[in-house]
Amino acid sequence: MSGLSGFPEFLPADRNVELIVLDHLREVFELHGFASIETRAAEPMDTLLRKGEIDKEVYVLRRLQAGEGDSDSGLALHFDLTVPFARYVLENAGKLDFPFRRYQIQKVWRGERPQNGRYREFTQADIDIVAKDELAFHFDVEIAQVMAEALSGLPVPALTLQVSNRKILEGFYLGLGIAEPTTVMPIVDKLDKVPADKIAALLQSDAGLTAEQAKQCLALAEIRSSDGSFVDAVRALGVEHPLLDEGLDELLQVVTGASGADGVEVVADLRIARGLDYYTGTVFETRMEGHEQLGSICSGGRYDQLASDGKNTYPGVGISLGVSRLLVPLVAGGLTADRSVPSAVLVALTDEESRPASLAVAAALRARGIPTEIAASPQKFGKQIRYAERRGIPYVWFPANGDDGDRVRDIRTGDQVDADPATWNPPAEDLKPRIKEQVT
């Protein structure tokens, strides 16, 4: 890891873990038809601060010799991928086909105090579906399904995808006679960090609720199930409102539609509110077993008003995976890859005069997609084999020499066979680095 806190760096074998994870995410996203985009790292500060909730965390850009009023003044590094994506949609709306399905895997920067799971520079992987004027609800279900499938294939402990719906919360609060539901949600959202009795006190002191209203809000927040039983549990509280009915129906569709991915439990959890005001319906958070102190490693939701040019509105639903938040603690705990280089084969070198022959073997293997490197120097073969072992390279190729033809050795087993560089192939699982230790 890097000595500069908050900017994680991986050693080569650990970086291979990250690459394996990113390749898996891309594959799943693309299998579901999501197009890849990348937005610029810098945005005008007024764009980034439009939502106003993390102004203290934004890194501002400034050239050393910049003068006041220079053209690059007022720029800052993006702290997430959602705000730049909203800007991207508005600027390119005339060239995009809606509904537009995008995935984006990029670095972001945030001036937080570095701690476990929180970094100043980190990688996020986002998926969103955005429409023009109206977005059908079935896309909420699809986003949950796609991310559950993506999470299911990761080499990580069991995950819980917690799903809620702000319509349930808002409708319930309105049904209780609370005039300003949005003042309640951010307080209830702190339940994972603040004891329930203090939340009840805050609801009364800061949101103006009665003791009975606060009690009902906390009762709603305690409802949690991995099936449709949450609907009856909410009904049993005796609160009625049309918006509540709509939210319960939507949440039921998401929970039943997204369940079934191995290693990912989809749970209706009515304490999940998400603090950001732009969420209007479905909301997601994700916890990793044994690493609950990290908080949510994958979050998002429905936003009906995030992007608008005054004439058209572009509603969307999306979810963001904190790749660095997920991986850095696991790598620190022993998750790594079986090799530090991409090479599947090391071509041995008998002497410098035979280097052209070794180069020819390597070229033939590479032409068929087999990652190959050549020994750095013509040391004894035992030293060349140890060179491969230290890097995790599974095969050493010995070029033809005199009456002996080409041979290849699996250095893990010691098995050695005759081979032709024009036809030999390693097993498919040896072509690329693999996860060495599955974290459980």
Domain boundaries, position 361: 345-430
Same-domain check for residues 325 and 355: no
Q: Residue 407 has what pLDDT?
A: 96
Q: Which CATH number fits the domain that encloses residue 426? A: 3.40.50.800
Same-domain check for residues 384 and 415: yes
CA dihedral 195, 197, 199, 204 (to 10 degrees): -170
The H or E element spanning position 352 is: none
Q: Residue 440 has what pLDDT?
A: 47
- pLDDT tens figures, 112-163: 788 777 899 999 999 999 999 999 999 999 999 999 999 998 999 999 999 9
Q: How many domains does the chain have?
A: 2
Q: Residue 182 has what pLDDT?
A: 84
Q: Is residue 72 part of a domain?
A: no
Residue of 236 and 54 predicted with greater confidence: 236
Q: Residue 70 has what pLDDT?
A: 65
Q: Is residue 163 part of a domain?
A: yes
Among residues 332, 356, 387, the one where a domain terminates is 332
Nearest CA among 318, 327, 320 for reference residue 298: 320
Distance CA 220, CA 231 (A): 11
Distance CA 323, CA 327 (A): 6
Confidence category of residue 63, pLDDT binned at 50, 70, 90: confident
Whether residue 49 contacts residue 42, with contact meaning beta carbons closer than 8 Å, is answered with no
Taking all residues of the chain, what is their mean pLDDT, rounded to a whole number?
91
Same-domain check for residues 283 and 386: no
Strands 313-322 and 298-308 come out as antiparallel
Q: Is residue 70 part of a domain?
A: no
Nearest CA among 326, 267, 316 for reference residue 295: 326
Question: Among 227-231, 238-242, 289-293, 418-422, which is the least confidently predicted range?
Answer: 289-293
The length of the chain is 440
Distance CA 143, CA 149 (A): 10
Q: Is residue 60 part of a domain?
A: no
Among residues 307, 332, 357, the one where a domain terminates is 332
Q: What mean pLDDT comes out for the span 242-263?
A: 96
Distance CA 168, CA 164 (A): 8
Q: Is residue 64 part of a domain?
A: no
- pLDDT tens figures, 334-364: 999 999 999 999 999 999 999 999 999 999 9
> How far from the centroid of its chain's Cα atoms is residue 349's Cα?
43
Same-domain check for residues 359 and 325: no
Q: Which CATH number fits the domain that encloses residue 152? A: 3.30.930.10
Q: CB within 8 A of 140, min separation 6: which ones?
A: 250, 253, 254, 281, 282, 302, 317
Same-domain check for residues 109 and 210: yes
Residue of 299 and 182 predicted with greater confidence: 299
> Between 12-31 and 138-152, two packed helices, what is the crossing angle to 10 degrees?
150
pLDDT at 1 over 50: no
Q: What mean pLDDT comes out for the span 51-70?
A: 70
Q: Is residue 59 part of a domain?
A: no
pLDDT at 385 over 80: yes
Same-domain check for residues 163 and 296: yes
Strands 75-77 and 42-44 come out as antiparallel
Same-domain check for residues 259 and 386: no
Q: Please state, for a pLDDT cut of 90, what percent of the chain lies above it.
A: 78
Q: Residue 437 has what pLDDT?
A: 60
Q: Residue 4 has what pLDDT?
A: 82
Nearest CA among 76, 86, 267 for reference residue 163: 267
Q: What mean pLDDT comes out for the span 427-435?
A: 96
Q: Residue 108 has what pLDDT?
A: 95
What are the C-alpha distances in Å from 208 to residues 216, 286, 393, 436?
14, 31, 65, 54
Q: Is residue 374 part of a domain?
A: yes
Question: Among 34-38, 162-166, 274-278, 375-379, which is the least confidently predicted range?
Answer: 274-278
Q: Please state, for a pLDDT cut of 70, what percent of the chain lies above it.
A: 94
| Phi, psi angle pair for 175, to nearest 5° | -65, -25
Among residues 300, 332, 364, the one where a domain terminates is 332
pLDDT at 280 over 70: yes
pLDDT at 68 over 70: no
Q: Is residue 67 part of a domain?
A: no
Same-domain check for residues 250 and 322: yes
Same-domain check for residues 412 and 286: no
Same-domain check for residues 268 and 190: yes
Q: Residue 67 has what pLDDT?
A: 65
Same-domain check for residues 30 and 176: yes
pLDDT at 209 over 90: yes
Count CA within 13 A, CB hemisphere, residue 85.
31
Same-domain check for residues 312 and 167: yes
